[in-house]
Chain A
Amino acid sequence: MLDLILTQTLNGLASASSLFLVASGLSIIFGVTRIVNFAHGSLYMLGAYLGWTLVTWLGPASPFGFWGGVLLAALSVAAIGVLIEVAILRRIYQAPELFQLLATFGVVLMIQDIALAVWGPEDKLGPRAPGFKSFVILFDSRFPTYELLLIAIGPAVLGLLWFLFRRTRWGTLVRAATQDREMVGALGVNQRLLFTSVFAFGAGLAGLGGALQLPREAATLHMDLSMIAEVFVVVVVGGLGSVTGAYLAAVLIGILHAFGILIFPKITLVLVFLVMAVVLVAKPHGLLGKPPTGQARAPADEPLLRPADRATKLAGLAALLLLATLPLVTPDYLVLTLTELLILGLFAASLHFMMGPGGMTSFGHAAYFGLGAYGAALAVKWLGAPMEPALLFAPLLAGVAGAVFGWFCVRLSGVYLAMLTLAFAQIAWATAFQWVEFTGGDNGILGVWPAQWAVSKTAFYYLVLGLCAACVLLLRIMLFSPLGYALRAARDNPLRAEAIGIDTMRVQWAAFVVAAFAAGIAGGLFAFFKGSVFPTYLAIPRSVDALLMVLLGGVQTVSGPIVGAFAYAGLSEQLSRLTMYWRFALGLSIVLLVVLFPRGLVGSFLAWRERSRAEPAR
């Protein structure tokens, strides 16, 4: 037993090293540029693939070939980092904070297809490191020497980073810029160069982490997203911007994994997220993180949310009329597409409600969509409920989950809040995935069909249109109600809002529940639309979809999320019909849209309209 514990500890420590390399890179990049780099997992994946190519090319048998290849891979990924920073991110530092996230997600999609095109769909089995191919006998069991090497690399890199940040001018500048980058610029430091170098450095660390992982596991096309989820956890648990915290968290997560597989194989998927939830609830800024010291960034240049003017109301009405008449003239498949778009529109609008006016970004909004779908499906399966009451169950389950999860989330803010929503979403997802007896697990729940009167495509379409339009309108009315005003006050200046008697947490909690409830309605409709539910409804990609739709439309606009939903979902569907490499095309479109419309589609349109109105007056 004891030797098992010891070997599993060593295993955990070994996997912690790569995790730490990638996480520290992400943390450093976020600290200076304030960009949550979704593409960091992709850089890690590129490190592994490039490592495989370079080591194979240089000759994996010789130490020079192997280590030279690994180093070269890290440098190449750093160079790719430079390319990404200069070509994309540099243009959008001034954009609203989370908008850059959208761009980096576009990069994720592009890199996925580039990797597919260059290396093909088969896994690339990594070469073993010369000199580290054997085992040592530790605690009566065999332990690969390469694992021992990895265990040593973690602290070694930590030490190097410490030296770099405490003892070199570059490190001092990076730490200063982490606190106040504008001031660093005013002192004569070229921020552009600093940002590029920081991004390259962080990318290089991710690439190194990927290349070093090669002898342990094959390079695959899925390692980007699985890594990014874990690395987010590590960075947040450790405390944003704290490299030592990232190491501690990486070790914690690595060891938890090693033991989790042994002790509770059923909950390994959710274990890390449980840990993150516990840590964030107990320590809102992570293990070693500090509360942000920078001044609160006032959204100075954001267009104000205004009640709809005549033109907007007319446009809304016209759109509704158009949507109502479309099924009369369009072919069936288009009606299906439109039904899905409407549901996604409501889903996006619900996320927008908490994200835009509420200022609470959620990385896990799929939880409420999915729980809505499961609420409806479970009611059908276990209670034999017909569609109408099942559709009531949907928002109920989502709303209750929103009330519970939200109660914890509103105690945090910013990225930490977003991460906690992700943790809860993963917990909900794992429950749906692993509670097979109740939810059907991976097989989902089938046979969730609409009532007799709504069975035809057109009838169901009108049901969806009616419900979605009503919900979106209600959300909109709520934005211009006292709750909406209090919500925006709490977002813009929590201290002042509290000082005039607004219980900001309560208001945000209310908004959280409303958003979850509305997402639940969308989810319930989706369940009946598809006739089945699966755990993927609650999974990360769907949360990301919602986020993309909202950001693409423009966070600080009311109609943005709906336009964003139509643009995003429509675009991805059209592209997937057109080309095998639709991810690349979609990613490229996202990046271009971000660079061209840095306030989102509707946001940019409003800003343009405002400018063209103001211009003649001057």
Chain B
Amino acid sequence: MDLILAVSGLDAYYGRAHILQGVGFGMARGEVLALMGRNGAGKSTTIKAVMGLVPPARGEVRFEGSRIDGRQPFEIARLGIGYVPEERRIFSELTVMENLAVGQRPPREGVPHWTAEKLFALFPNLGRMRDRAGGAMSGGEQQMLTIARTLMGNPRLLLLDEPSEGLAPVIVEEMAKTILALKDEGLSILLSEQNLHFAGAVADRVAIIEKGAIRFTGTVAALTANEAIRRQYLSV
């Protein structure tokens, strides 16, 4: 199988807290994989470890076959991994256009080349507020902008940390459509998610993380059918 991302035996610490304890999973090219689990299970840390923002203590991360663990975040980004953080982290002092400019990288072979205009077609709202400061936008608009900003780097693999969190239901639906549209463009997407309904709408497969290790992987249908797993790892 052509794996775009292969993670194995990943350990990571926050200070002295051992957050990831041997996380391992693989992602096929073009796949949307939802990483699910409760608060504090290690979803965000997994994504940050892939991105190099939390340097893994042990284990390996392979992107398109070559190891990227231990590399700087900017190198990982340049290889073609786009990171969309949970807290959005819009540059609030910069305008929409400037936010996009920060994310801009040269075109990459085999993936769509995103320009501001192309992104405004995907996110029409943003196109209407090009010169607005990031800080003066609503939460939903900021969430769109943070995705658009990352897409400006023309990634092959998109890491979305809790994309539906804190958004109004209408916007969540819009977000789901966006993710599917990006999948259609050929992007592989790894997203962390707490909402099974949302994950079911966008993901091909689900991986469940609990106490820093993957406890289940399978299709959305398999998870829906397996009530025991859901109760054990997802119910609050």
Contact = CB atoms under 8 A, between A and B. Distances in A.
A292 to B, nearest CB: 12
B85 A186 contact: yes
Q: What band does the interface of chain B fall in when counting residues whose beta carbon is under 8 Å from A?
A: 20 to 34
A167 to B, nearest CB: 10
Nearest to A293: B92
Contacts of B123: none
Contacts of B85: 183, 186
A4 interface: no
A187 B94 contact: no
A184 interface: yes
Interface stretch (B71-79, B170-178, B202-210): B71-79
A381 B22 CA distance: 72
A175 B93 contact: yes
16 contacts: A172-B98, A172-B102, A173-B102, A176-B94, A178-B93, A179-B94, A186-B53, A186-B83, A186-B85, A188-B74, A188-B77, A189-B74, A189-B102, A191-B72, A293-B93, A293-B135
A541 interface: no
Nearest to A295: B87
Given A169-B101, A183-B85, A188 B78 contact: yes
Contacts of B102: 172-173, 176, 184, 187, 189
A11 to B, nearest CB: 35
B156 to A, nearest CB: 13
B74 A186 contact: yes
Nearest to B149: A187
Interface string A171-212: 011011011101111111111000000000000000000000
Interface of A: 169, 172-173, 175-176, 178-180, 182-191, 293, 295, 300-301, 614
A186 B94 contact: no
B98 A187 contact: no
Contacts of B215: none
A185 B73 contact: yes
Contacts of A183: 85, 89, 91
A182 B74 contact: no
Interface string B41-56: 0000000000101000
Interface of B: 14-16, 51, 53, 72-74, 77-78, 83, 85, 87, 89, 91-94, 98-99, 101-103, 105, 135, 149-150, 153
Contacts of B105: 188
When A and B form their complex, which 4 residue pairs have the shortest distance between CB atoms, in order from nearest?
A188-B77, A183-B89, A176-B102, A176-B91
Contact of A182 (B53, B94, B103): B53
Given A172-B94, A176-B102, A182 B73 contact: yes
Contact of B92 (A169, A179, A186, A295): A179
A176 B91 CA distance: 6
B81 to A, nearest CB: 9
B161 to A, nearest CB: 11
Contacts of B72: 185, 191
Most buried by B among A179, A183, A184: A183
B73 A172 contact: no
Contacts of A184: 102
Nearest to B18: A618
B12 to A, nearest CB: 13
Contact of A186 (B15, B77, B98, B99): B77
Contact of A175 (B73, B91, B135): B91
A28 to B, nearest CB: 14
A169 B100 CA distance: 11
A291 to B, nearest CB: 12
Given A172-B101, A186-B74, A187-B153, A180 B91 contact: yes
A374 B101 CA distance: 58
A598 B53 CA distance: 21
A173 B101 CA distance: 8
Given A187-B103, A188-B153, 5 more contacts: A173-B102, A178-B93, A185-B72, A187-B74, A188-B105
A243 to B, nearest CB: 13
A321 to B, nearest CB: 35
A300 B149 contact: no
A293 B102 CA distance: 18
Contacts of B83: 186-187
B74 A185 contact: yes
A187 B77 contact: yes
Contacts of B51: 186
Most buried by A among B53, B91, B149: B91
Most buried by B among A184, A185, A188, A293: A188
A165 to B, nearest CB: 10
A600 B74 CA distance: 30
A172 B78 CA distance: 19
A198 to B, nearest CB: 15
Given A180-B89, A185-B72, A188-B78, A300 B14 contact: yes
